[in-house]
Amino acid sequence: MSAELISILVLVVVFVVATTRSINMGALSFAAAFGVGGLVAGFDADEIFAGFPGSLFVVLVGVTYLFAIARANGTTDWLVRTALRLVRGRVALIPWVMFAISALLTAIGAVSPAAVAIVAPIALSFAARYGISPLLMGAMVVHGSQGGGFSPISIYGSIVNGIVEKEKLPGSPIVLFLGSLVVNLLIAGVVFVVCGGLKLSGRGDGDTAATSVETEEERAAGALTAARAATLTGLAALVLAVLVFDLDAGLTAITLAVLLSLFWPADSKKAVNQITWPTVLLICGVLTYVGVLEEMGTIEYAGNAVSDIGIPLLGALMICYIGAIVSAFASSVGIMGALIPLAVPFLAQGEIGAIGMITALAVSATVVDVSPFSTNGALVLANAPDVDRDRFFRQLMAYGGIVTAAVPAAVWLVLVVPGLG
């Protein structure tokens, strides 16, 4: 058996073990990089560590640190409460507000599961209170988090754009962001109609009178304090720095977080513990192993295998479906970190547009996170009050299956077939 084939089989084992044994995929990937790199390829430690994504590590830590401060000082709660005040008496707008809040949170730096963990309990409580389908509300939260998840300053966006830049592929952060946003927005619209969202339009003020009653504690939570105002200013500054002045997102985010910490150290102390270290470990581990694969020649080997199919468009469709199917059960960010580099030789031939292919793959690998086997789907299932959990699980599983079957083909048809990029 060739070294390239062994390294691919080990990658498959990493995904399977991470999914079935609840072990962090990044930790497994570091072990795989050491085992395959050292024993199979004969690499020393320096050659193995050459694939460690240092700049991406800074982005992941910086952006999640800044968002953790926003969560610790109540800025995220303030955003949620402010948005909910806008829908008094209009129940039909509540699912869309939840979509928008989730999208905003991921767009400014929250990892998708963190945004869902914040919004899902509130959203599903509203669903139970006002008779809104929990499937509708859960789907709106998840699709919202994925819709905003590829902004240029987001975690997913930073990861994909960083990989694209590293692999010297043509890329468009704006197309990636808008592609995911539009796809998730369209899916949310279909779900809204199918799950009875239009029937909510007849609900009047009487159904939402309770939203006008706030306790003193809730009023305090909804106040715009100096810390929250400064955090909102910092988030706006991050967007401006990255999009207008082309500054590094990670270094800018850490600098802003440090400035906030100087004035409100108590919030910063709590925030350090809320940095999403499991995600940092996951993506850094996976990309380190991918670096080993690249140095071994496995990336070129896999790309040539896809090319040997002889029909580039069919190969592109297969990659999208692999990303979707595996992501429905495993880590979406891990899948993207592995599949985009594996597709590089295939894309380098120039027969498939790189921008359209990367966008289609990113959307395919994340839109399926409504599956109850994914973190986001599991959070929705766990936070739904007053439901038959077995029945709700089956609903989420069926819905996840439909999305997995339909969306990769749709985004392939719209983004890949026309040759975008």
**What secondary structure, in 3-state letters, does the chain show?**
CCHHHHHHHHHHHHHHHHHHHCCCHHHHHHHHHHHHHHHHCCCCHHHHHCCCCHHHHHHHHHHHHHHHHHHHCCHHHHHHHHHHHCCCCCHHHHHHHHHHHHHHHHHCCCCHHHHHHHHHHHHHHHHHHHCCCHHHHHHHHHHHHHHCCCCCCCHHHHHHHHHHHHCCCCCCHHHHHHHHHHHHHHHHHHHHHHCCHHHHHHCCHHHHHHHHCCCHHHHHHCCCCHHHHHHHHHHHHHHHHHHCCCCCHHHHHHHHHHHHHHHCHHHHHHHHCCCCHHHHHHHHHHHHHHHHHHHHCHHHHHHHHHHCCCCHHHHHHHHHHHHHHHHCCCCHHHHHHHHHHHCHHHHHCCCCCHHHHHHHHHHHHHHHHHCCCCHHHHHHHHHCCCCCHHHHHHHHHHHHHHHHHHHHHHHHHHHHCCCCC
Alpha-carbon torsion, ordered 120, 124, 126, 128, to 10 deg: -170
Measure Cα distances from 225 to 104, 220, 221, 229, 317 in Å. 20, 9, 9, 6, 50
Q: Is residue 205's pLDDT more than 60?
A: no
| d(C-alpha 378, C-alpha 374), whole Å | 6
pLDDT recorded at residue 192? 96
Block residue for tokens 């969560």: 71
Q: Decide if 160 contacts 53 (C-beta within 8 A).
A: no
pLDDT: which is higher, 137 or 224 = 137
Cα distance between residue 158 and residue 106, in whole Å: 12
* Model confidence at 209: pLDDT above 60: no
The pair of three-digit structure tokens given for residue 318, joined into one six-digit string? 């297969």
Segment 11-52, tens digit of pLDDT: 889 988 987 887 888 899 999 999 999 999 899 999 999 989
Residues 145-158: tens digit of each pLDDT? 999 999 998 889 98
Cβ atoms of residues 336 and 365 within 8 Å: yes
Q: Does the pLDDT at position 218 exceed 70?
A: no
pLDDT of residue 203: 60
Q: Which of 4, 42, 29 is nearest to 338 (CA)?
A: 29
- pLDDT at position 330 is 65
pLDDT tier at 206 (50, 70, 90 boundaries)?
very low
User: What is the per-residue pLDDT for 145?
Assistant: 94
Q: How far from 119 is each of 9, 83, 310, 320, 407, CA to CA, in Å?
A: 38, 12, 46, 29, 24
Band (pLDDT 50/70/90 cuts) for residue 136 is very high
Average pLDDT over residues 387-413: 92
* Percent of the residues in the chain that have a pLDDT greater than 70, as a whole number: 92
Mean pLDDT of 232-242: 87
CA 170 – CA 356 distance, rounded (Å)? 10
Mean pLDDT of 237-244: 83
Both tokens of 23, joined, read 């072990």
CA distances from 260 to 55, 63, 80, 264, 396 (A): 22, 13, 21, 6, 40
